[in-house]
Structure 1
Amino acid sequence: MIEYERLLNYPIPEVRQRLTRRDAVFYALSVGLGQDPMDRRQLDYVDADRVLRVLPSMPVVLAHPGFWVAHPDTGVDAVKVVHGEQSITLHAPLPAEGEVIGRTRVTGLVDKGEGKGALLYSEKELRDAGGRLLAVTGSTTFLRGDGGFGGPPGPVKPVNPVPETEPDMVVDLPTRPEQALYYRLNGDDNPLHADPEVAARAGFPRPILHGLCTLGVVAHALLRVLGDYEAGAMRSLSLRFSAPVFPGETIRTEIWRGGAFRARVVERDVVVVNNGAAVFA
C-alpha cells in the first residue's frame, strides 16, 4: 500500500555513470539505428571510429536509477506499472564519453481513486562532472494497481493537442523481435519486457517493448525529417504512450510542421504514441 508522503519524498539514489563511446553506439543500435547500412547519416551515430554523434534521446537512459519503484518499501505494485508520458529538454550538447550524474526525484503523485490507479511524476537532472546541466527528463508513471491511498486527485499535466489534419510527413521504422532484450541492457531491466510469465501477469500476451525504446524510435524519425540527423538540432520533445508496442512491429511516426507528432503500429493500426510535441532549432 502506498504511503503518500513516503513515496513523494522517496530517496532515489544519485547515479554516476562513466559514459563511453561504446555506450553511445549501443544506445543508438538498441533503438534501431544502423538497419540501413547504406545510410551514412546513421553511421555517424553507430560507428565509434567516426566523429561520433550522440542521439538527443539518450538522456532517458543516462545515469538511470533503474526500476526503483519495484523496491518493496515504495508500496507500489510493480507488476502493474506502465510508463505513461515522457519529456526531454536538452540544455547542452551531449558528450560521447565522460562522467555524467543523474539526480532523480518524485515531483508529484496523483490518486485517481480505488480501481483507477495513480500517477507518479518524476524528474531527472543530468549533469556532467563539472556540474553543467545537460538535460532534464520528465516522466509520468501509471501505477495501475495503486489507486485509493488517500492522495490528492490532481493536478494532472495537460496534454499537447495533435492537429486534426493529415500529417505533413510520415516515417516508417521497423523494430526487431529481440529489440527489448537489447534495450534493457541500457539499464531498464523491468522483467515485463523479457519474461513471458511476468507479461502475462500484467495482462499482456507477450513481453512488450519499453516505452523509452518506442520513444527512441520516434525520436529517430523526428531527427531524420526535422533535424536532418543533426544531433544538436533537437531542443525538446514530449509525448504520451497510449498503447504498447510488441517487438518486431513497425512504428509509423506521423509528423506535422511545427513539431506535433504521433505514432502508430502499422500491423495493428493502433496509435501507440500520442500528443507529441518536438522543438527543433
Structure 2
Amino acid sequence: MPIDAAKATSAEPRTTELAWDHKDVQLYHLGIGAGAATPDKPHPATDPDELRYTLESALHVLPSFATVAGSGSSLPEGSREPGEGTAVSGGLSVPGIDVDLAAVLHGGQKVTVHRAIPVSGRAVQTSTVPAVHDKGKAAVIVLRSEVADADGPLWTCDTQIFVRGEGGFGGERGPSARLEIPGRAPDRTTERLIREDQALLYRLSGDWNPLHADPEFAELAGFDRPILHGLCSYGVTLKAVVDTVLGGDVARVRAYTTRFAGVVFPGETLRIRMWEREGRTQVSVTAADRDDAQVLADTVVEHS
C-alpha cells in the first residue's frame, strides 16, 4: 500500500541542520513583495517601514520565513523533482509513504513562533508525522517540524500535505471544520499586486517546483500558465497583516494558520480582508481579478 499510516506516524524523528543569514531573509522578503508599491506606499524602496524588510542594518524577520529557512538559494545537484527540498517533499520521504508527487497539493500551513527569529542563525530541525488522515478519495499527511537553536525552541511548523487518490486505507478522517467569515464588514481591506516575475523571485528561496516557472510543466498539471507558490501568498498576507494591524512589529506575531483554497496567477491582485479581535486577526484572501475567487481560507494571525 502506498501509505502505511501506522509506519509513518511511528517512524523515528528525522533531524536536519539549518543555517541562514541576512541575505536569505532579504531574498525571502523581496520574494513576497517587500519594497513594492502599495496603495499607501507610493515610494516603497526608501520607505522606512519597507527598509525593515530589505536593508541589513534595519532588518527584522517576518515569521513566515520559517517555511523556507535553511532551504538555500541554489538548486540541489541532480534535483529535478517538483518541490524537492521543501517541507512538502520532506513529508513524503518518511517510511510508510510512497506517493506520486504529481498527486500532491499543499493543503494547509501553520507557523507557531516561540521567540523572534534571528536575522542569521544555525538551528536543528526535528521532523515527525503526527497524523495521516483518510479523507476517502485522498489522504492528508500532517508533517510537524520543530526548530531550536542553542538558546532553545524557535518555531514549530505544521504542514498539511493533501495527496489525491491515496485515501481509503481505513484511517481516521481527521478534523474538517471550516472557519466562518464574520457576518460584518471587515475592519480593514487592502490589496497587493503580484508582479509577473513574483514566482521566479520567490522560488530562489528554495522551492524549485517547475509548476511555478515552466509553462509546459504547468500545462501538464492542468494550468494554462505557471501559478504562484501558495507559501508566497501566505507570506504576502502575513506581511499585509503585520504592516496594517500590528504597526509593522513582527515580534507581536504568535502563530499564523491558513488553508490553501485556490490558486493565484502572477500579475493578479490579492484582496486581503481582515477582521480584528483581541489577540487575533481573521483573514480572507481572494483573487480580485477573478470575481474574488478564494485563495486563502480559515486564516488566522494570533498576536499580542
Taking the aligned partners of 1:263 and 1:197, their CA distance within structure 2 comes to 28
3-state SS of paired residue (1:37): helix
Task: State the one-letter code of the partner of 1:137.
Answer: C
Q: Which residue of 1 aligns with 2:228?
A: 209
Taking the aligned partners of 1:234 and 1:257, their CA distance within structure 2 comes to 14
Q: Which residue of 2 aligns with 1:238?
A: 257
Task: State the one-letter code of the partner of 2:163.
Answer: L
Distance apart, 1:249 and its partner CA: 1.3
Q: Which residue of 1 aligns with 2:103?
A: 80
Work out the percentage of aligned pairs sharing the same amino acid: 32
Residue deviations 1:129-188 (CA, integer Å, cap 9, x gap): x1511111111111123223x141422254433212111101111112222222222222
* Distance of aligned partners of 1:201 and 1:239 in 2 relative to their CA distance in 1, 3 Å threshold: same
Taking the aligned partners of 2:266 and 2:11, their CA distance within structure 1 comes to 33
1:93 equivalent to 2:116? Answer: yes
Distance apart, 1:5 and its partner CA: 3.0
Among 50, 62, 65, the residue aligned to 1:55: 62
Taking the aligned partners of 1:71 and 1:106, their CA distance within structure 2 comes to 11
Q: Which residue of 2 aligns with 1:29?
A: 30
> Runs of 5+ in structure 2 lacking a partner?
37-43, 72-84
Distance apart, 1:83 and its partner CA: 1.0
Q: Which residue of 2 aligns with 1:261?
A: 283
Q: Which residue of 2 aligns with 1:108?
A: 131
- Scaled by the length of structure 2, what TM-score is found? 0.84
Q: Which residue of 1 aligns with 2:148?
A: 127
> Runs of 5+ in structure 1 lacking a partner?
none
3-state SS of paired residue (2:171): coil
Deviates more, 1:8-17 or 1:32-41: 8-17
Among 154, 158, 170, the residue aligned to 2:189: 170
Q: Which residue of 2 aligns with 1:145?
A: 165
Task: State the one-letter code of the partner of 1:135.
Answer: W
Distance apart, 1:70 and its partner CA: 5.9
Taking the aligned partners of 1:155 and 1:264, their CA distance within structure 2 comes to 26
Deviates more, 1:138-147 or 1:18-27: 138-147
3-state SS of paired residue (2:289): coil
Are the counterparts in 2 of residues 87 and 138 from structure 1 also a CA contact under 8 Å? yes
Residue deviations 1:115-139 (CA, integer Å, cap 9, x gap): x2111111111212x1511111111
Are the counterparts in 1 of residues 30 and 54 from structure 2 also a CA contact under 8 Å? yes
3-state SS of paired residue (1:212): helix
3-state SS of paired residue (1:245): coil
Distance apart, 1:110 and its partner CA: 1.2
* Distance of aligned partners of 1:265 and 1:102 in 2 relative to their CA distance in 1, 3 Å threshold: same
Q: Which residue of 2 aligns with 1:271?
A: 294
Task: State the one-letter code of the partner of 1:83.
Answer: H
Q: Write out the 4+ residue segments of structure 1 that deviate beyond 6 Å after TM superposition.
A: none
Q: Cα RMSD (Å) of the superposition?
A: 2.1
Are the counterparts in 2 of residues 223 and 230 from structure 1 also a CA contact under 8 Å? yes
Deviates more, 1:7-16 or 1:51-60: 7-16
Are the counterparts in 1 of residues 107 and 259 from structure 2 also a CA contact under 8 Å? yes
Task: State the one-letter code of the partner of 1:46.
Answer: T
Taking the aligned partners of 2:26 and 2:129, their CA distance within structure 1 comes to 30
- Scaled by the length of structure 1, what TM-score is found? 0.90
Taking the aligned partners of 2:239 and 2:269, their CA distance within structure 1 comes to 13
3-state SS of paired residue (1:267): helix
Distance apart, 1:44 and its partner CA: 1.0
Residue deviations 1:37-64 (CA, integer Å, cap 9, x gap): 242101111111x231111211111245
Task: State the one-letter code of the partner of 1:174.
Answer: L
Aligned residues: 276
Residue deviations 1:204-263 (CA, integer Å, cap 9, x gap): 222211111110000011101111111201111111111011122111110011211110
* Distance of aligned partners of 1:182 and 1:9 in 2 relative to their CA distance in 1, 3 Å threshold: farther
Taking the aligned partners of 2:7 and 2:197, their CA distance within structure 1 comes to 37
* Distance of aligned partners of 1:253 and 1:57 in 2 relative to their CA distance in 1, 3 Å threshold: same
3-state SS of paired residue (2:242): helix
Taking the aligned partners of 2:283 and 2:201, their CA distance within structure 1 comes to 26
Task: State the one-letter code of the partner of 1:133.
Answer: P
Distance apart, 1:10 and its partner CA: 5.4
